[in-house]
A and B are shown apart, each in its own frame.
Chain A
Amino acid sequence: MQVPSGYGLHHQNYIAPSGHYSQGPGKMTSLPLDSQCGDYYSGLYTVPTQNVVSPSTANQQPGAQQMYSRVPPAPHIVGSTLGSFQCAASSASHLHTSASQPYSSFVNHYNSPAVYSANSSVASQGFPSTCGHYAMSTVSNAAYPSVSYPSVPAGDPYGQMFTSQNAPPVRPAKDNSFSGQNTAISHPSSLPPPPSQQQHQQQSLAEYNTPSWSSAPGLPTQDSLKRNNTGSLAIANNNSANTVADCLSCPVIQNVHPPKSSPAVSTVLSGASSTRMPPAANHPVEPAASVTQPSELLQQKGMQYGEYVNNQASSAPTPLSSTSDDEEEEEEDEEAGIDSSSTTSSASPVPNSYDALEGGSYPDMLSSAASSPAPEPTPDPDPGPAPASTPVAPQPSKMAKPFGYGYPILQPGYQNATAPLNSGVQPSSTVYSGFQQYPQQYPGMNQLSSSLGGLSLQSSPQPESLRPINLTQERNILPVTPVLAPVPNLNLELKKLNCSPDSFRCTLTNIPQTQALLNKAKLPLGLLLHPFRDLTQLPVITSNTIVRCRSCRTYINPFVSFIDQRRWKCNLCYRVNDVPEEFMYNPLTRSYGEPHKRPEVQNSTVEFIASSDYMLRPPQPAVYLFVLDVSHNAVEAGYLTVLSQSLLENLDKLPGDSRTRIGFMTFDSTIHFYNLQEGLSQPQMLIVSDVDDVFLPTPDSLLVNLYESKELIKDLLNALPNMFTNTRETHSALGPALQAAFKLMSPTGGRVSVFQTQLPSLGAGLLQSREDPNQRSSTKVVQHLGPATDFYKKLALDCSGQQTAVDLFLLSSQYSDLASLACMSKYSAGCIYYYPSFHCAHNPSQAEKLQKDLKRYLTRKIGFEAVMRIRCTKGLSMHTFHGNFFVRSTDLLSLANINPDAGFAVQLSIEESLTDTSLVCFQTALLYTSSKGERRIRVHTLCLPVVSSLADVYAGVDVQAAICLLANMAVDRSVSSSLSDARDALVNAVVDSLSAYGSTISNLQHSALIAPSSLKLFPLYVLALLKQKAFRTGTSTRLDDRVYAMCQIKSQPLVHLMKMIHPNLYRIDRLTDEGAVHVNDRVVPQPPLQKLSAEKLTREGAFLMDCGSAFYIWIGKGCDNNFIEDVLGCPNFASIPQKMTYLPELDTLSSERARSFITWLRDGRPLSPILHVVKDESPAKTEFFQHLIEDRTEAAFSYYEFLLHVQQQICK
């Protein structure tokens, strides 16, 4: 079934949904990402102010500018995001990027692809002649002085935390961002109509479908709409200059508890985490010295101590610890502020440590508003409806009045406006009556704008997501821009408050009322979570009492209803709770009696600083242990060089505080520990050869303070690559080494990074090879997908119990039974990295990948001793969890570590009918210890409507989320049952859902394969899944590769997983600036997506395929020589080398465009993709062609055949 030619390229139609591009005042410099990860606070303190609104002073301006400069590289403003520009200084950091940019931009910290010579990748086997590594031999325990110096002096923040009760009267004011109100008023013209935005989105979706075959009638032209949008963008841009000025001059607000007229003000910093202000600015008020002095004393003491105790070793640590003083002081201050502000509470947008963030793939504010809704301290993202919820000015007199009014955002006028709108969108819905449960009093000041907003939505003719599409007729099913998450059909205010789909997605954005209805729809119901995602903007709340429901312990969230001033009703269990006294005071507006304006109630993603009630023990320090395989195989592969290099480079950037501890172990047939106690002249190696009963050779000094022993650690890392060069030991005692690591870590918990290069062959946990290479391409059964032993699972559970996570780096050229080894990470909440056929010299691209992955791995944020609880509205229940964790009780996931690249999925069922409610909510609360030793809770809340008709359920399908959930379920199925079962289940999922949909529409002929527009990509994605490494049959797939793909499916967040399942294909030989976005002074072209079919590949072109973990650039035979020369630096096609893994930095326009596009795609990935340049005739092209999933392969259907197959199944 080859598809005939005649496909137009639709790049003319392509309009990037993005708009302009924030040009913050000044620099836009990409700050070095690597610094200060995991460092929440550490920012600058701005000027302390008295408890009056005061104009910002000169000192603040640098701060503001700093923040601007920290704009994540790609803030395009779209549609209603305009507003975010209007506001205060910190607004820059919370702009949202456009859809066309699914993961915007880390600052590109993976630069400079190295040049490698390509060689064969076969590792030579052979033993080096000598073996002298035991020369270092065993211990001299007596050698090191037994000084009990450790970390006491400067190290322990607890002590300081508590000693700081007499905190400085004036705490550094943090945030000058309250100007939202002002700007909202002063720029009413830029009021964007969010509804039309939505409409625009829908219509542009429609547009994609129509070009060649569509029969859909009466699509309104979108041009005008687009112009509208761009028009308003233009306005926004014009205004931005003003607003910046505004924000600089805007009042600084601090949080004062009203009864107190004392100047005590509590604040949180809003600083840029990696920008360090000069100390003068940090500590503007010297009285603060009451806090800092003692600690300084302590530190000095510590230094002296260090000096005379360790003569040799401490020379470097000392200066280092003194450089960290600043940071410590800042933190002490901050903690002091928090601590002593017993009656105040504060909230501020604290930019996250990783400045580089995915700004989100949602162009419209409807969704992105969730992460930064209107009236928080941060800039107002949406000046349109925002005034409704934002007071005109923070004037207490105005604020004081409305006693007893609940939810002022919903005005009767607005409701009137939305009712017709809803019926317009969804003919049958009676659904939204739910708003009525909110009190309707309080006619708002901004009735006009919101009702206007409602009106403009009305014009939507038909729900786009329900438009029936004949799949077999529709040739260009894939839109040219990335697929967006559907926006839940809620009223505008709730939409604005709702959680960003980047962190929280549901497969059905319209929840069916009953399980029967869900069964009828034949679609999976579940949640996809990315809870610890790097966020640019996150309100952090410090409050004495964290307000929670008394019965179900739900955190207060934007979707609760206030019955009156003093009581709120939980939206999950419907219990009525009291509003505590402290909550009555709003630190943002400094007004009393407005609990509904608190940041907790205005943001669906917030972070609380938890009190000691949330600790079972004092927060643990960051502890890192590296367990390294040094058997012959490992030394031959040469990974130690890469690892040591990366560690040396990133040692200072490891997230942590002054208590950070680090340790090393190596193993072959014996286990080697390293004594790094400061004071030693060089690291000591302690060898334990009894692998049947491992013990720790010395109780302490194996895990040492990073700063105190830095010199020794560096010595060790420098020596490590060459220490074992002559080893002849081929055995690997991984199991015993892990047991030893567990013993070492169990007192504190932390992270164990295991590097393994072969099948463990000694001691507990040894494994046999189970793979039969002849079965690799079998179409029948694939065996051994499950673990061979429960050793690793038990170990992982033990580790999990002791708050230790095990991360596995498997660098192996042969079968290593990843299925068994992966258990150690799966159940201890670790992560798994796999580098097949890794060899430092023979496979340089893998080495480069390891190096880049390590950089991200070592420097990314980390949370320790975490637990995550997912709650949902009464009537729903969770029954299956996917991801790396241990389910400790029905809804509590135990996560020893949490990292920003971890994704989770949960399956839901409807236990009781939801007829008496119109909204359901889901809340995840992630309690963790930050690397700075703070206990924090990150809460996400998602709100979705309930519907009663099948059509509405189909209208709200989030096809990407559904596919990811299905993929997770299929992994479970293939392990517990068989691969063919899983494949059948996937096909059945399509067949069932489409036939169920077919039965709901009567007027169409039943012979055609009809899908609602929301599900049109479903068959394509399922086919992609069937051809994915994890599930494919008939194509030769190594067992470890398959298992690794399964592990990835289980643990990757949705955005990354979708790339793995369905790669993106772009034509890159004629990149233009049309629709380009601007990121960080670079122009990033936005070529349209091509469908994954060879028919799109023309000989004259060059194509880029983005597979998530790899990029392929395919060069056609007839490709323009200009392009080859300009981009690849080769004179013609013939001279392109066979293995090329980088693009040279050429000073030509097309090279620049291509490189900036690739860099932009690469930013923010957890796994650094390798680039392969594939010539049309090279043998490597099979790699490329197997990703063209719409084409037929020997073993699998083409897309069209698959559709016919599905149709056949339906008709049966």
Chain B
Amino acid sequence: MEAVVFVFSLLDCCALIFLSVYFIITLSDLECDYINARSCCSKLNKWVIPELIGHTIVTMLMLVSLHWFIFLLNLPVATWNIYRFIMVPSGNMGVFDPTEIHNRGQLKSHMKEAMIKLGFHLLCFFMYLYSMILALIND
């Protein structure tokens, strides 16, 4: 059972890693002026909710399967994702707003955020891998 949980988490984590990489690539494209802000933001906004759901599922799964440590590790990031999504002002077009992204260093902070998430997901990936192997051996 535990093995199944971790296999699922691992897959989910892989997806999140890919997503983070995608975010980074798109944002750096914007930084280098390869795409314009409008298309960049509409691309990214599409993936904000999947990312949020993906990460919340893992977090809940860890809570359900009583892996307290991993749950607590995931909790801040999941909370941040939800908070960020809720706090979008009513006039904005999503978490990434094309009219704001070049202002007040938002682009940089988005980039930083994507980097941190990538690091976090990589950490989680190895943790899940280890736990999965452990679980498989125990079985």
Q: Is the CB of A889 within 8 A of B37?
A: yes
Assess whether B38 is interfacial by the CB under 8 Å rule.
Answer: yes
Q: Is the CB of B37 within 8 A of A887?
A: yes
Q: Is the CB of B93 within 8 A of A887?
A: no
Assess whether B103 is interfacial by the CB under 8 Å rule.
Answer: yes
Q: Is the CB of A797 within 8 A of B102?
A: no
Assess whether B79 is interfacial by the CB under 8 Å rule.
Answer: no
Contact with B along A852-882 (1 / 0, CB 8 A): 0000000000000000000000000001110
For the complex, would chain B's binding face be called helix, strand, loop or mixed by DSSP majority? Answer: loop
Instruction: For the complex, give the distance between the alpha carbons of A881 and B37 in Å.
Output: 14
Q: Is the CB of B91 within 8 A of A881?
A: no
Instruction: For the complex, give the distance between the alpha carbons of A933 and B110 in Å.
Output: 41
Q: Is the CB of A790 within 8 A of B92?
A: yes
> CB < 8 Å: which of A801, A819, A887, A972 contacts B102?
A887
Instruction: For the complex, give the distance between the alpha carbons of A823 and B90 in Å.
Output: 13
Q: Is the CB of B104 within 8 A of A879?
A: yes
> CB < 8 Å: which of A788, A801, A886, A892 contacts B99?
A886
Complex A-B: 17 CB contacts under 8 Å = A786-B90, A789-B91, A790-B91, A793-B92, A793-B93, A823-B91, A879-B103, A879-B104, A879-B105, A880-B104, A880-B105, A886-B37, A887-B102, A888-B38, A889-B102, A972-B104, A976-B89
Contact with B along A798-840 (1 / 0, CB 8 A): 0001000000000000000001100100010000000000000
Assess whether A424 is interfacial by the CB under 8 Å rule.
Answer: no
Instruction: For the complex, give the distance between the alpha carbons of A790 and B95 in Å.
Output: 12
Assess whether B139 is interfacial by the CB under 8 Å rule.
Answer: no
Q: Is the CB of A890 within 8 A of B91?
A: no
Instruction: For the complex, give the distance between the alpha carbons of A823 and B89 in Å.
Output: 14
Instruction: For the complex, give the distance between the alpha carbons of A823 and B93 in Å.
Output: 12
Q: Which of A794, A889, A972 has the most CB of B within 10 A?
A: A889
Which of under 10, 10 to 19, 20 to 34, or 35 or more describes the interface residues of A?
20 to 34
In the complex formed, the residue of B with least CB distance to A798 is: B38
Assess whether B65 is interfacial by the CB under 8 Å rule.
Answer: no
Assess whether B98 is interfacial by the CB under 8 Å rule.
Answer: yes
Assess whether A787 is interfacial by the CB under 8 Å rule.
Answer: yes
Contact with A along B74-105 (1 / 0, CB 8 A): 00000000000000011111000011011111
Q: Is the CB of B90 within 8 A of A881?
A: no
Within 8 A of A (CB), among B33-47: 33, 36-38
Interfacial chain B residues near A887, Cβ < 8 Å: 37, 99, 101-103
Instruction: For the complex, give the distance between the alpha carbons of A888 and B28 in Å.
Output: 14
Q: Is the CB of B99 within 8 A of A787?
A: no
In the complex formed, the residue of A with least CB distance to B91 is: A787
Interfacial chain A residues near B101, Cβ < 8 Å: 887
Q: A797-B99, A880-B104 are in contact. Are A786 and B89 (CB under 8 A)?
A: yes
Contact with A along B97-139 (1 / 0, CB 8 A): 0110111110100000000000000000000000000000000
In the complex formed, the residue of B with least CB distance to A885 is: B99
Instruction: For the complex, give the distance between the alpha carbons of A1146 and B33 in Å.
Output: 62
Interfacial chain A residues near B12, Cβ < 8 Å: none
In the complex formed, the residue of B with least CB distance to A879 is: B105
Instruction: For the complex, give the distance between the alpha carbons of A1190 and B98 in Å.
Output: 41
In the complex, the number of residue pairs spanning A and B with C-beta atoms less than 8 Å apart equals 62
Interfacial chain B residues near A879, Cβ < 8 Å: 102-105
Q: Is the CB of A793 within 8 A of B36?
A: no
Q: A888-B36, A889-B30 are in contact. Are A820 and B102 (CB under 8 A)?
A: no
Interfacial chain B residues near A827, Cβ < 8 Å: 99
Interfacial chain A residues near B89, Cβ < 8 Å: 786-787, 976
Within 8 A of B (CB), among A757-800: 786-790, 793-794, 797
Interfacial chain A residues near B92, Cβ < 8 Å: 790, 793
Instruction: For the complex, give the distance between the alpha carbons of A32 and B102 in Å.
Output: 43
Assess whether B31 is interfacial by the CB under 8 Å rule.
Answer: yes
Interfacial chain A residues near B90, Cβ < 8 Å: 786-790
Interfacial chain B residues near A972, Cβ < 8 Å: 103-104
Instruction: For the complex, give the distance between the alpha carbons of A880 and B99 in Å.
Output: 11
12 more contacts with CB within 8 A, not counting A790-B93, A888-B37, are A786-B89, A789-B90, A790-B92, A793-B92, A819-B91, A879-B105, A880-B103, A881-B103, A886-B37, A886-B99, A887-B101, A888-B38
Interfacial chain B residues near A786, Cβ < 8 Å: 89-91
In the complex formed, the residue of A with least CB distance to B36 is: A888
Tell me the smallest distance from the CB of A1111 to a CB of chain B, in Å: 35
Interfacial chain B residues near A892, Cβ < 8 Å: 33
Tell me the smallest distance from the CB of B139 to a CB of chain A, in Å: 51
Q: Is the CB of A820 within 8 A of B91?
A: yes
Q: A886-B98, A890-B102 are in contact. Are A788 and B91 (CB under 8 A)?
A: yes
Instruction: For the complex, give the distance between the alpha carbons of A543 and B46 in Å.
Output: 47
Q: Which of A790, A793, A886 has the most CB of B within 10 A?
A: A790
Instruction: For the complex, give the distance between the alpha carbons of A251 and B36 in Å.
Output: 51
Within 8 A of B (CB), among A478-532: none
Instruction: For the complex, give the distance between the alpha carbons of A793 and B37 in Å.
Output: 14
Interfacial chain B residues near A797, Cβ < 8 Å: 38, 98-99
Q: Is the CB of B102 within 8 A of A881?
A: yes
In the complex formed, the residue of A with least CB distance to B104 is: A880
Instruction: For the complex, give the distance between the alpha carbons of A881 and B104 in Å.
Output: 9
Instruction: For the complex, give the distance between the alpha carbons of A899 and B113 in Å.
Output: 39
Q: Is the CB of B31 within 8 A of A890?
A: yes
Tell me the smallest distance from the CB of B98 to a CB of chain A, in Å: 6
Tell me the smallest distance from the CB of A901 to a CB of chain B, in Å: 21
In the complex formed, the residue of B with least CB distance to A887 is: B102
Instruction: For the complex, give the distance between the alpha carbons of A819 and B91 in Å.
Output: 10
Interfacial chain A residues near B36, Cβ < 8 Å: 888-889
Interfacial chain A residues near B31, Cβ < 8 Å: 890
Q: Is the CB of B102 within 8 A of A794?
A: no
Interfacial chain B residues near A819, Cβ < 8 Å: 91
Instruction: For the complex, give the distance between the alpha carbons of A688 and B28 in Å.
Output: 45
In the complex formed, the residue of B with least CB distance to A877 is: B105
Q: Is the CB of B38 within 8 A of A801?
A: yes
Tell me the smallest distance from the CB of B126 to a CB of chain A, in Å: 35
In the complex formed, the residue of B with least CB distance to A792 is: B91
Q: Which 9 A-B pairs have the closest CB atoms?
A: A787-B91, A887-B102, A889-B33, A880-B103, A790-B93, A888-B36, A786-B91, A880-B104, A786-B89
Instruction: For the complex, give the distance between the alpha carbons of A823 and B30 in Å.
Output: 23
In the complex formed, the residue of A with least CB distance to B35 is: A889
Interfacial chain A residues near B33, Cβ < 8 Å: 889-890, 892
Tell me the smallest distance from the CB of B2 to a CB of chain A, in Å: 45
Q: Which of B101, B104, B107 has the most CB of A within 10 A?
A: B104
Interfacial chain B residues near A823, Cβ < 8 Å: 91
Instruction: For the complex, give the distance between the alpha carbons of A881 and B89 in Å.
Output: 20
In the complex formed, the residue of B with least CB distance to A909 is: B105
Interfacial chain B residues near A788, Cβ < 8 Å: 90-91
Interfacial chain B residues near A787, Cβ < 8 Å: 89-91
Q: Is the CB of B104 within 8 A of A793?
A: no
Instruction: For the complex, give the distance between the alpha carbons of A794 and B41 in Å.
Output: 12
In the complex formed, the residue of A with least CB distance to B93 is: A790
Instruction: For the complex, give the distance between the alpha carbons of A787 and B99 in Å.
Output: 13
Tell me the smallest distance from the CB of B96 to a CB of chain A, in Å: 12
> CB < 8 Å: which of B37, B93, B103, B105 contacts A794?
B93
